[in-house]
Amino acid sequence: MDIRRRWRDLSEGQRRLVVLGATVDGALKIAALADIRRRPADQIRGKKWAWAAVVALANSAGIVPLTYFLVGRRRVG
């Protein structure tokens, strides 16, 4: 019994939800990576390369980039 769902098995609404989720995740990853690149290392908790690697490589549905924005950046000022 094959329980895997294929793209053609999804309803139109489910397909839109998958595309929307992937778009949001991609946008968050791009924003986080751009911020990591431009922000000085002393304003980031932990190592910049580690944050960049996790943000770029982890399949997280947006959780890792949001974690970087909420926890990984030091408050300035």
pTM for the full predicted model: 0.78
Q: What is the pLDDT of residues 12-70, one digit of tens each?
A: 999 999 999 999 989 999 999 999 999 999 999 999 999 999 998 887 778 888 888 88
Distance set, CA 31 to CA 10, 25, 42, 43 (Å): 30, 10, 19, 16
Distance set, CA 9 to CA 15, 46, 68, 72 (Å): 10, 43, 35, 39
Q: What is the pLDDT of residue 1?
A: 60
For the chain, domain boundaries: 12-72
The conformation of residue 52, written as its DSSP 8-state character, comes to H
Q: Look up residue 63 and give its two tokens.
A: 């959780």
Cβ 10 vs Cβ 37: under 8 Å? no
pLDDT category of residue 74 using cuts at 50, 70 and 90: confident
Helical spans, DSSP H, in the chain? 12-38, 48-57, 63-67
